[in-house]
Structure 1
Amino acid sequence: MAGSGLGAVFRVPEFRVLWAAELFSIAGDQLARVALAVLVYGRTGSALWAAVAYALTFLPALLGGVLLSGLADRFRRREVMIVSDVARAVLVAVMAIPDLPLWALCAVLVLVVLLGSPHTAAQGALYPEVLPGELYERGLAVRQITSQTAQLVGFATGGLLVAALSPAVALLGNAVSFALSAVVVRIGVADRPAPVQAPGPGPVTSELRGITAGLVEIATDRPRRALVLLAWLVGWYVVPEALAAPYADHLGAGPAAVGLLMAADPLGSVLGAWLFVRFVPAATRARLVGLMAVAAGVPLALCILRPGVPLTVLLWAVSGMLSTAYLLQTQASFVRATPDGGRGRAIGVAASGIIAAQGAAVLLGGLLADATDPATAVAAAGVLGAVLSAGGAVAWHRANSTAPSPQFRWAGARSR
């Protein structure tokens, strides 16, 4: 039996490969986000436009998740990941072209985000095959810790790099990260056959029917519906990242402070994932989901007091710690409750909903920041997130206490 620590997952060769590939692309993504925030805010001087650009790294994923995530169930999942990475590398390189019009930059960004949906679905569907049993939850925790660490490093150093070099160089770095991810996956991940598909109508009709069936299945399953609702509400807790540039400017700080503010949430996420899996018993985790979802909004609400950069970083980190812990458990329970045959589509729809919810919340935050100021917008996002999460927590408590599925109960309340 594998060791009891989180490091046990690194004994699985394919996990190491998938983990490394994800690390490359995440670090590049965060560097690019800092570059876009500085580039767009520098050109327009508008908090709304900065939020729009940031939202475009999220919103198109809703369409991509609904229409493209099924590719992870129709084709070889390794190939889906590789093709997506190569295409995104080319498109991000185009974004680095000097003086590219703002509308063209946004259009290419939409395509990049759309292509991320099948990649996310294929990767998420592979992990349960690569990590059996208890290793799967440990793998999720390790991914959360390391991905947030990569975001932390990308954001913290991104502000310095953008200030020292240029946004275009940072975007080229992101393109290289996608290319590295494709190479690593091609070399180190086994070429598994595509999931077995039941005979039926043509690809387009079958895909649309499959999407509809998947959405109906989630919507009519009380436990999974409650989990998805809580996961989507995490979007309110991403608003601070989108407003980091105008928030720093409001405080009289520069690009380096933008990176530090954007790094606060990943810093909290690293601590949250580690503390949650290391010290909270498995049987207790599911019961804490709703409470932590509500509590994650409180630190952001305190930004109404307009604290300086150091205290703001602390508040945003605490929010990130709580939101990551509850999101980690919702993901694990949802995936375990979903059959393998439709897992790619279900993960894609759920994950894309999270991303789209983040984009919608960011847009609303940008509108409010333009109408008032960034600190007020961040505080409002925290209050809304907490209030709505309270409703989701009630739905989750009721669904979890009455769920008839033994498989689902096992997923949410396993012993160590």
Structure 2
Amino acid sequence: MAGTWSAFAVRGFRVVWLAGLLSVAGDQLARVALSILVYQRTGSAALSAATYALSMLPALVSGALLSWLADRFPRRQVMVVCDVARAALVAVMAVPATPLPLMAALLVLVQLAEAPFSAAQGAVLPELLGTRYEAGQAVQQVTTQLCLVLGFAAAAFVVAGVGAHTALAIDAATFAVSALLIRTGLGSHPPPGGRPRHGTSWWRQVAGGAVAVSRDRTLATLVWLGWLALFTVVPEGLAVPFAREVGAGGGWIGVLLAAEPAGAVAGALLLRLVARRVRVRALGVLAVGTSAPLVAYWTQPALGTALALLFVSGVCSAYQVTAGATFVQLSPPPLRGRALGFARTGMIAGQGLGIVLGGVLAQLAGAATAIAVAGTAGALVALAAAAAWSRRRPDAVSAALPAEA
């Protein structure tokens, strides 16, 4: 377990880690604030879920069209510019006179900057950490999920105490601090491929990540495993209407949102106790285990049972750490930012779509039924992904990865 925390010995990692943690904390506070605000004003589960999804769906555009910037310009520059832009946009959202339609439009713009930032951040980490890379990924998973647990558990109370607009102002401040940390504490990190050859079209630069993934069956299967999150995110988007269905008070909304991240923390720590070869081999089984507990929502579970199911789902979801680390390490370095951007684009956009569809179904049949449908569909798709992963010879994939520290 000590090796898990060895990534903190690298100064650049500490800077990127802290900057990311600040932004995550502010973002979750803002998401919960907007979801609660919309649900209180409209009483609509579909609109509440759609508002939450607005923080994800724009990635479908930005990930496809903007992730190439991480392989074109110095990665520190990309991250700083994105953070400064997001800080300014969220600051406008925090103005009390800003109407809801304008806030929604600004939220879309904020999320357009997320893809190039994440692509640059993800491409920098292997350069910073080397053989400590997967350990760094595990640290990020554990601490980010802990931040989500604490943030979700406290968000409803914070919003009730300070108001939605103040919560958004806090989010803007986290982006500003993140930009300052990265600018002063991280090296430039120019992309390893340098500038593209003269005559390289813009479209070839944009599509480079998707092409690299499509030509490598192992990378494509890892992307498939990652994109399964579109099914398991549905309970998150429906936490507000589900809490109302089971008669829980507003304070339980944060607890429902925190249950899955809490499980993910436990799962990530448990997986670090076994050899990487075992973690890589178990990817398919754990992917199925992430969706399978949600099938039990067909029984219309009480609050306590629902929390237990979400926790178990979260424990299994920790496979995403190993899947993501394996994907990045196998991606060609000159295309790493774009490949990572493509993978994250599909994951985030898929999650947004899943939440929207879940919200519509919840409006028609109830939140518990919508979650059960998502879990059943997710388990079936995960079984197919697990079979595909077994054909990729996981032991050979593990042997091809760089040695761990």
> Shared topology, TM-score over 0.5?
yes
1:391 corresponds to which of 369, 375, 384: 384
Pair 176,90 (structure 1): closer, same or farther in 2 beyond 3 Å: same
Q: 2:214 aligned to 214, 219, 222, which one?
A: 219
SS of residue matched to 1:297? helix
Q: Which amino acid aligns with 1:356?
A: A
Q: RMSD between aligned alpha carbons?
A: 1.8
Deviates further, 264-273 or 308-317: 308-317
Aligned to 1:55: 53
CA contact (8 A) 1:78 1:186 kept: yes
- Write the distance in 1 (CA, Å) between the matches of 2:402 and 2:117: 30
- Which of 273, 283, 304 does residue 310 from structure 1 map onto? 304
- Is the CA contact 2:124–2:189 (under 8 Å) kept in the aligned structure 1? no
Give the SS at the match of 1:5.
Answer: helix
| C-alpha displacement of 1:353 | 1.1
**Structure 1 residues 58, 216: CA separation in 2 closer, same or farther (over 3 Å shift)?**
same
Which of the numbers 76, 79, 85 marks the counterpart of 1:78? 76
Structure 2 residue corresponding to 1:274, chosen from 262, 269, 276:
269
Q: Distance in 2 between matches of 1:411 and 1:109?
A: 41
Q: Choose 233-242 or 300-309, whichever is displaced more.
A: 300-309
1:236 aligned counterpart, secondary structure: helix
Equivalents in 2 of 1:99, 1:394: separation in Å?
53
- Residue 105 of structure 1 is matched in structure 2 by 103
Q: CA deviation at 1:194?
A: 4.1
Measure, in 2, the Cα distance between the counterparts of 1:167 and 1:191. 36
Aligned residue in 2 for 1:290: 284
In the alignment, which residue of structure 2 is the partner of 1:117?
Answer: 115
Which residue matches 2:168? 171
Note the alpha carbon deviations across 1:368-407, whole angstroms, 9 max, x for none: 1001000111111111111101111111111236x9xx7x
Q: Percent identity, aligned pairs only?
A: 45
For the residues of structure 1 that align with 2:189 and 2:285, how far apart are their CA atoms?
Answer: 40
With the length of structure 2 as denominator, give the TM-score of the two structures. Answer: 0.95
Aligned counterparts of 2:371 and 2:27: Cα–Cα separation in 1: 23
- Tell me if the contact between 1:237 and 1:385 (Cα under 8 Å) persists in the aligned partners: yes
- Deviation of 1:415 after TM superposition, in Å, equals 7.3
Q: Is this contact kept in 1: 2:265–2:315, CA < 8 A?
A: yes
Identify the residue that residue 256 of structure 1 maps to in structure 2: 251
SS of 1:159's equivalent?
helix
Post-superposition shift, 1:338? 0.8
The answer for unaligned runs of 5 or more in structure 2 is: none
Shift of 1:317: 1.5
TM-score, L = length of structure 1: 0.93
What is the letter of the counterpart of residue 387 of structure 1? L
Counting matched residue pairs gives 404
Shift of residue 313 of structure 1? Answer: 1.8
Large movers: runs of 4+ above 3 Å: 411-416
Per the alignment, residue 91 of structure 1 pairs with 89
Amino acid at match of 1:331: G
* Aligned equivalent of 2:332: 339
Shift of 1:118: 0.5
| Alignment-derived partner of residue 185 in structure 1 | 182
Measured in 2, the distance between the counterparts of 1:149 and 1:270 equals: 7
On the 8 A contact 2:206/2:338 being kept in 1, the answer is: yes
Q: Which residue of 335, 360, 366 maps to 2:359?
A: 366
Task: Pick the aligned partner of 2:237 from 238, 242, 245.
Answer: 242
